[in-house]
Amino acid sequence: MEIRYDSPRYPSKQPPMRIRVLVFARLRELLDGGERSLRLPEGASVEDAWDALVAEFPAIAQERRCTRVARNGRLGSFDDGLNDGDELALLPPVGGG
Amino acid sequence: MEIRYDSPRYPSKQPPMRIRVLVFARLRELLDGGERSLRLPEGASVEDAWDALVAEFPAIAQERRCTRVARNGRLGSFDDGLNDGDELALLPPVGGG
Amino acid sequence: MFSITTESIEPRALEEIVRTGDGGVVTFLGVVRDEADGRRVSGLSYEAFEPMAVREFEAIAREARDRFGDVRIAIVHRIGELSAGEISVAVLASAAHRGTAFDACRYAIDELKRRAPIWKKERYADGGSEWRAGGA
Amino acid sequence: MFSITTESIEPRALEEIVRTGDGGVVTFLGVVRDEADGRRVSGLSYEAFEPMAVREFEAIAREARDRFGDVRIAIVHRIGELSAGEISVAVLASAAHRGTAFDACRYAIDELKRRAPIWKKERYADGGSEWRAGGA
């Protein structure tokens, strides 16, 4: 599945970035699948990616508070900017062991 | 082997007690064997048993300070009295594991 | 040895990291319990963000060496469907002396539970299921 | 399971005490080192006052339960001739939660070394041998 999202803040004059989104556990269930591709305008942040997902899956909105993000396998923050081709993992509270 | 020991303090008017002595590790080597039988006069203590062994194996004298004793499988002291048929174990400093 | 596996965990396999000269080997096995908070658990499923989880295992092992000294660590976590009594995670720490091995093993499992990207869903005998966070 | 054995120790055998509901199993293995205080060790021999050692293992396990709560403990110590890399002792502690299992396992091996009537003689590669006390 691919969601195309044109942020009002970032009118899509440039070719959009493609972001690979991985979600796990509860978020995977709410998004009905573990992996998807997002198209976001150049300059979009992790926050923008999240908002794009919330637009399609409103049920995840309340998960925001306890979700951590990893960009290309490294922990990051919702403020981080994204680059074309980034892998963005959305991590609910962990509980291994 | 059986050592008969008539303590000057306890002249042997009564039939002597028979004590089974177990020794381990360095003491076993110094006594050239792990188990022996001692005959001691009625009323003898662990200390008397030790002295009887020292009389035959002077090399153990210096081990006294760090030897612990167990009577019938329970830790005891050199002051404990012995009873006929007791098992007396002489335990050098332990080092299992 | 740091891995995520779908196969049943064989604890002795972790011993391959033990080196001549190591005198103390401490192993932690996490075993699936049959109850949680008083509810009967009929099964568990684990999932992991595998490459990041493995990197986190490696980072935890490095930290343990920085904190406790020379120690070898292996961590294997199972994912998929597990039932009560099965091993979900094995952590082995091997060092010259036992204090180091105990400290490193405990640090590793505590940190793994706290921060490795692994998730556990409990299925209850009375129906229902729940994602559990903050590994107790 | 508390025993002294002349056979090689199979750590997994100790797992028989793990009970349904136990979520954390901690095992300590003592392994014969190939050096001690800088001397190369060619072999070890252990001896034990067996009945008293086994009773001491039982007492240590009772104390661990008093201190740390509900926990199952197994202790097996090998005696006889051992060479480097062989397991001399295995201690397993199994409890509902891992903190209890870690504490109990560490207590048990520390106390075993401190007070169980077991002795170790090191044989050195350069000749000579020595009874070692106060298990390091």
What string of DSSP letters covers B2-68? EEE---SSS---SPPEEEEEEE-HHHHHHTTSSEEEEEE-TT-BHHHHHHHHHHH-GGGGGGGGG-E
B84 vs B6: which has the higher pLDDT: B84
Q: What is the CA radius of gyration of chain A?
A: 13
Contacts of D46 in chain B (CB under 8 A): 96
DSSP E strands, D1-136: 2-5, 24-31, 35-36, 39-48, 72-78, 80-82, 87-95, 118-124, 129-132
Cβ of D119 and B22 within 8 Å? Answer: no
- The partner residue sitting opposite C31, judged by closest CB among D23, D34, D106, is D23
Q: What is the Cα–Cα distance from D106 to A8, expressed in whole angstroms?
A: 61
Contacts of C26 in chain D (CB under 8 A): 26-29, 105
Q: What is the pLDDT of residue B3?
A: 59
CA atoms within 13 A on the CB side of C14: 28
Q: Spell out the SS3 assignment of A18-86.
A: EEEEEECHHHHHHCCCCEEEEEECCCCEHHHHHHHHHHHCHHHHHHHHHCEEEECCEEECCCCECCCCC
For testing contact with chain A, the best of C33, C47, C52, C132 (most A CBs within 10 A): C52
A91 in C contact zone (CB under 8 Å) = yes
Is residue A20 over pLDDT 60? yes
Collapsing DSSP states into helix, strand and coil, what is residue C102?
A: helix
Contact D61, D53 (CB under 8 A): no
A25 in C contact zone (CB under 8 Å) = yes
Q: What is the pLDDT of residue A68?
A: 96
Name residue, tokens 């922990």: A75
Confidence of residue A5 (pLDDT cuts 50, 70, 90): low
Identify the DSSP state of C60.
Answer: H
End-to-end CA gap in chain D? 25
Confidence of residue B34 (pLDDT cuts 50, 70, 90): confident
Mean residue pLDDT of chain D comes to 95
- The partner residue sitting opposite D131, judged by closest CB among B89, B92, B97, is B92
B7 vs C98: which has the higher pLDDT: C98
Give the tens place of pLDDT for each residue, A77-97.
999 999 999 999 999 999 999
Name residue, tokens 């090399």: B59
Name residue, tokens 């009002």: A8
Give the distance from residue D9's alpha carbon to the nearest chain C alpha carbon, in angstroms: 13
For the residues B8-35, what does the mean pLDDT come to? 85
A26 in C contact zone (CB under 8 Å) = yes
A30 in C contact zone (CB under 8 Å) = no
Is residue A6 over pLDDT 90? no
Angle between helices C98-115 and C50-68 (to 10 degrees): 150
Is residue B8 over pLDDT 70? no
Q: What is the pLDDT of residue B13?
A: 62
Burial per residue of D88-120, b for 16 or more beta-carbon CB atoms within 10 angstroms, e otherwise:
bbbbbbbbbebbbbbbbbbbbbbbbbebbbbbb
What strands lie across the sheet with A74-76, from one edge to the other? A2-4, A35-40, A17-23, A87-91, A68-71, A74-76
Residue D10 CA, chain-centre distance (Å), reads 13
Contacts of D90 in chain B (CB under 8 A): none
Do A and B make contact via 3 or more CB pairs under 8 A? The reply is: no
Closest CA to C82 of C48, C24, C41: C41
How big is the CA angle at A89 (ends C75 and C111), to the nearest 5 degrees? 30
Q: What is the pLDDT of residue B11?
A: 54
- Percent of chain C with pLDDT strictly greater than 90: 93
Angle between helices D98-115 and C98-115 (to 10 degrees): 180
Contacts of A73 in chain C (CB under 8 A): 51-52, 55
Q: What is the pLDDT of residue B61?
A: 96
Q: Which residue of C has its CA nearest to D36?
A: C21
Q: Identify the bridge partners of residue D39 per DSSP, sorted by sequence position.
A: D36
Do C and A make contact via 3 or more CB pairs under 8 A? The reply is: yes
Q: What is the pLDDT of residue B7?
A: 54
Q: A6-11 contacts: CB < 8 A, separation 24 or more? A: A6/A41, A7/A40, A7/A41, A7/A44, A7/A48, A7/A51, A9/A48, A10/A40, A10/A41, A10/A42, A10/A43, A10/A44, A10/A48, A11/A41
- Percent of chain A with pLDDT strictly greater than 90: 80
**D:82-101 residues touching chain C, CB 8 A cutoff:** 84-85, 96-98, 101
- The partner residue sitting opposite C31, judged by closest CB among D22, D105, D109, is D22
Give the distance from residue A72's alpha carbon to the nearest chain C alpha carbon, in angstroms: 9
Q: Identify the bridge partners of residue D77 per DSSP, sorted by sequence position.
A: D4, D89
Contacts of D136 in chain C (CB under 8 A): 97
Mean residue pLDDT of chain B comes to 90
Low-confidence ranges of chain D (pLDDT < 50): 136
Beta-sheet pairing, A17-23 with A35-40:
antiparallel
Contacts of B24 in chain D (CB under 8 A): 47, 49, 117, 119
Q: What φ, ψ does residue C67 adopt, rounded to 5°?
A: -80, -40
Is residue C52 over pLDDT 70? yes
Identify the DSSP state of D20.
Answer: T
Is residue C136 over pLDDT 70? no
B89 in D contact zone (CB under 8 Å) = yes
Give the tens place of pLDDT for each residue, D92-112.
999 999 999 999 999 999 999
Give the distance from residue A95's alpha carbon to the nearest chain C alpha carbon, in angstroms: 4
Give the tens place of pLDDT for each residue, B36-66.
999 999 999 999 999 999 999 999 999 999 9
Identify the DSSP state of D8.
Answer: P
Q: What is the pLDDT of residue B15?
A: 76
Closest CA to A27 of C88, C117, C128, C55: C117
Q: What is the pLDDT of residue B14?
A: 67
Contact C6, C41 (CB under 8 A): no
Give the tens place of pLDDT for each residue, A49-63.
999 999 999 999 999
Q: Which residue of C has its CA nearest to D40?
A: C21
Question: What is the four-CA torsion angle of A44, A48, A52, A53, rounded to 10 degrees?
Answer: 120
Contact partners, residue D118, CB within 8 Å, separation at least 6: B94, B95, B96, B97, D4, D46, D47, D48, D49, D53, D77, D79, D112
Confidence of residue B4 (pLDDT cuts 50, 70, 90): low
Collapsing DSSP states into helix, strand and coil, what is residue D55?
A: helix
Give the distance from residue A62's alpha carbon to the nearest chain C alpha carbon, in angstroms: 15
- The partner residue sitting opposite C135, judged by closest CB among A22, A91, A95, is A95
Q: What is the Cα–Cα distance from D50 to B22, expressed in whole angstroms?
A: 12
